[in-house]
Amino acid sequence: MNVMFRSTRNAGNVVTASQAVLKGLAEDGGLYVPEYIPGLDVSLEALADMTYHETAYAVMKQFLSDYTEEELKYCIRCAYDEKFDTPEIVPVHEADGAYYLELFHGATIAFKDMALSILPYLMTTAAKKNQEDREIVILTATSGDTGKAALSGFADVPGTRILVFYPKDGVSAVQEKQMVTQKGDNTCVIGIRGNFDDAQTGVKNLFGDKALGEELHRAGFRFSSANSINIGRLVPQIVYYVYAYGRLLKRRVLKAGEPMNVVVPTGNFGNILAAFYAKNMGLPVGRLICASNENKVLYDFFESGTYDRNREFVLTTSPSMDILVSSNLERLIYRAAGDDAEKNAQLMQELASTGAYTVTPQMRERMKDFCGGFATREQTAQEIGRVYQETGYVLDPHTAVASSVYHAYREAQNDTTPAVIAATASPYKFARSVMEAIDGAYGQMDDFALIDELSKLSGTAVPRAIEEIRNAPVLHDRVIEKEEMEQAVKEFLGIA
Ligand SMILES: *Cc1c(COP(=O)(O)O)cnc(C)c1O
């Protein structure tokens, strides 16, 4: 049976999976969610012997049910290939009493590659299925990692163009260099004077602008989104939690049916929502531990039931989590409201007008598997230093936030359930913060010297993604005000 997708803000807006992938965001501003969450149709025992590709097919076919077997297997094969530096795709590294799920072995060495390697294939397949012959224009706001992963996924894909906006002073040196050196005739990268939320709000407004949409339509273009609001990003992210469970079975850490906890360094709430969907598919997941940095809106939300973005935005050492409005939380709110689009729309309206909303006690009850924690910049640096000193394993700052939160949780709750920590970026991507955390004396060196030091100290090879940008020329150097985003889009498409 086909699983259909509904907007979280309008129960009457129903589309197929491939249409939801093509659209990204619903016209009413809502996000597409599956009408129900399908169960896994393979036994838990069987997961122990399944490859990443097999697991991906078993999970994704349940949701993307209007793609044929051939189409889906083609997308999976093209996405998870030699772009990844290990045939395992997602290795599970045991260290320090936890299991680090290494989601950073793809082309841009951050977990966004897990979904953005496959999204272009899902999208171009969806365009064919729906007789869409207009050119697809991917508009993306990035806190650093999505931008490069999306550029890398869509560069030179026929029938698509991609425009990425990033906060000029809100990303790491390596993140910026990765983006501004992007090749491909269909790519464009622009810095915004503002923070990630400004960039994200700007992109959402462009999507919601009917007049602009019609102008584009006439010119032969349609917008879509590579942000984690696209269901085509969420579904591929469910896969690795199911895969992780299989690995823990294989190593006899767990017996089939026993729970694992999941710890996720969280920003836009996409990654941890995928773990929640995995649980709802029948995967034995215990607690979903949501780790934040000092922008701890989500921690406060899980503690109090009130989501309140009215606070100072803090630039931290984990920039991909510097977010005050977590878009994907809307999908959880919708579900906690009993799949009630009207109730959800009302809360989102409150968020837009006052910057805050409070959920009911019944909704909180339905979210009780989640718990929040946060780590300050200092705690994050200490965690990188501690784990390195004690085990030799080097964490990136995002993963270190999760690791720090996990150890605090474990101690406070006395919960010894095996825990999978989503390791969302390679330490090479944030070499400066990482090396300074290990030894303050490294502060003097330049970024690439630090990268070479990191390689020596960790005994790991410098990833290809870093070698590629070492001497690459800057191809995109434009910086604009956030009010100029619409104009920039038109110029890029040649319709200004
Ligand atoms: C995007 C990102 C996150 C946050 O993930 P969400 O799905 O937005 O919650 C965490 N760490 C890294 C390295 C990222 O790139």
Residue 234 contacts residue 34 (beta carbons within 8 Å): no
Q: Angle, to 10 degrees, between the axis of helix 119-129 and the axis of helix 231-250?
A: 130
Residues in CB range of 18: below 8 A, 6 or more apart:
64, 66, 67, 122, 125, 126, 129, 130
- Compute the distance between CA of residue 222 and CA of residue 138 in angstroms, rounded to an integer: 9
Report how far ligand 1's centroid is from the alpha carbon of 338 (Å). 27
Structural domains in the chain plus CATH codes: 92-106+232-447 (3.40.50.1100)
Q: CB of 29 closer than 6 A to ligand 1?
A: no
Q: Which atom of ligand 1 is nearest to the CA of 429?
A: 13
Q: How, if at all, do strands 160-167 and 135-141 pair?
A: parallel
What percent of the chain has pLDDT above 70?
A: 100
Q: How, if at all, do strands 370-374 and 285-292 pair?
A: parallel
Report how far ligand 1's centroid is from the alpha carbon of 220 (Å). 33
**pLDDT tens digits, one per residue of 276-307:** 999 999 999 999 999 999 999 999 999 999 99
Q: Which atom of ligand 1 is nearest to the CA of 267?
A: 9
Q: Is 187 helix (H, G, I), strand (E, B) or coil?
A: strand
Q: Which atom of ligand 1 is nearest to the CA of 111?
A: 15
Averaged confidence pLDDT in the chain: 95
**pLDDT tens digits, one per residue of 190-205:** 999 999 889 988 998 9
Q: Which atom of ligand 1 is nearest to the CA of 323?
A: 8
H helix count then E strand count, the chain: 22, 16
Instruction: Look up the pTM and report it.
Output: 0.94
**pLDDT tens digits, one per residue of 91-127:** 999 999 999 999 999 999 999 999 999 999 999 999 9
Q: To test the ligand 1 pocket, which listed residue (268, 299, 318, 396) has its Cβ within 8 A of the most ligand atoms?
A: 268
Residue 167 has a CB neighbour count (10 Å cut-off) of 24
Q: CB of 397 closer than 6 A to ligand 1?
A: no
Residue 267 contacts residue 326 (beta carbons within 8 Å): yes
Q: Which atom of ligand 1 is nearest to the CA of 270?
A: 7
Span 238-261, mean pLDDT? 98
**pLDDT tens digits, one per residue of 54-97:** 999 999 999 999 999 999 999 999 999 999 999 999 999 999 99
pLDDT at 208: 84
Is the pLDDT at 496 greater than 80? The verdict is: no
339, containing H or E segment: none
Residue 404 contacts residue 388 (beta carbons within 8 Å): no
Q: Is 398 helix (H, G, I), strand (E, B) or coil?
A: helix
Q: CB of 331 closer than 6 A to ligand 1?
A: no
Report how far ligand 1's centroid is from the alpha carbon of 399 (Å). 10
**pLDDT tens digits, one per residue of 324-359:** 999 999 999 999 999 999 999 999 999 999 999 999
pLDDT at 370: 98
Report how far ligand 1's centroid is from the alpha carbon of 337 (Å). 25
**pLDDT tens digits, one per residue of 362-393:** 999 999 999 999 999 999 999 999 999 999 99
Residue 144: pLDDT band with limits 50, 70, 90: confident
**pLDDT tens digits, one per residue of 427-445:** 999 999 999 999 988 888 8
Burial of 354 (C-beta count, 10 Å sphere; 0-12/13-18/19+): exposed
